[in-house]
Amino acid sequence: MNISGQREKTPGDGPPAGSAAEIEAPGMLPPDSELREIPPGRIAATPLRDGLDYWLSKQASPPQSGDPADHRLVGRLPARADLDPTEIPRLLPYVELTEVLDGGADFRFRLVGSHLVDTDQINPTGQRFSDFFRNPAYRAYQFGLYGWVVAQARPLYSSSRIPLPTRRLDALTKRLYLPLSGDGRSVDMILNFQICEGVADSGLELEAVLDPSSGESFVATLRL
């Protein structure tokens, strides 16, 4: 059994006020210094909150590096092997597991939960981002989010209302990106808990949604 409840494919197969500051996100993210934080309690979606708790429970004791300049999370990052789907059966429909290719030059969908497949009416498991995301603006948006997690080895939260890829509808999609690492530091996979709400026909155009002035898209780091 894999973490999405589906067969795992091999590469050959295929803004509230307060302390939160959600940063509007065009194709590329702002510099890390401009990304403010939200406390985990500001995440309202239960699958995302529970997913964060599960990820935190898998962190090992931190190495004694003694480096005060190390800005990354205290504790070694969990590995893919640390995840046990039998521990989180209620969260499996919301899971997306992504493989980091060539240090973030590309990414591959390894597992996609049933909630996401049913909402999008497409299963991209096994596909590379560079092949799946045909729209250049949205491809840049996705690469920006995932690339930030790889570079910073920290969780990232995003929310945006976007058109669905195979339907003339759109959905408010909330995502929590959590880094995984086989060696405890270098990110080689990303665990994403994602929920789609309010599916509707809002007449949104993708490029307009990704425009920061639209107010439809933002991202934030987590205060951990």
Query: What CATH number does residue 203 fall under?
Result: 3.30.450.20
How high is the pLDDT of residue 1?
Answer: 40
Cβ neighbourhood burial of 20 (10 Å; 0-12, 13-18, 19+): middle
Mean of the pLDDT values across residues 107-124? 88
Other Cβ atoms less than 10 A from the Cβ of 215: the count is 12
Query: Residue range 150-179: average pLDDT?
Result: 81
H helix and E strand count, the chain = 5, 8
Give the position of tokens 């973490």. Answer: 3
Statement: residue 192 has pLDDT above 70: yes
- Residue 170 lies in domain: 40-59+73-83+92-222
Signed CA dihedral, 87, 99, 48, 185: sign only = positive
Give the pLDDT confidence score for residue 72 in this predicted structure: 44
Outline where DSSP puts E strands in the chain.
Answer: 23-24, 37-38, 95-101, 106-112, 156-163, 170-180, 189-200, 217-222
Residue 29 counted as domain residue: no
Residue 127: pLDDT band (50, 70, 90) is: very high
Whether residue 47 lies inside any domain: the answer is yes
Is 198 contained in some domain?
Answer: yes
Residue 64 covered by a domain: no
- Residue 165: phi, psi to the nearest 5? -65, -30
- Whether 197 is in a domain gets the answer yes
- Give the pLDDT band of residue 187 (cuts 50, 70, 90): very high
Average pLDDT, the chain: 75
The 10s digit of each residue's pLDDT in 85-115 is 999 999 999 999 999 999 999 999 999 999 8
What integer pLDDT is reported at residue 15 of this predicted model?
Answer: 34
21 within some domain: no
If one counts the domains in the chain, the total is: 1
Q: Which of 94, 99, 109, 81 is nearest to 183 (CA)?
A: 81
Mean pLDDT, rounded, for 144-162 = 89
Three-state SS at 56: helix
Beta-carbon count within 10 A of 3 CB = 22
pLDDT tens across 5-43, in order? 343 443 333 333 222 233 333 344 555 556 778 888 888
| 33 is a domain residue | no
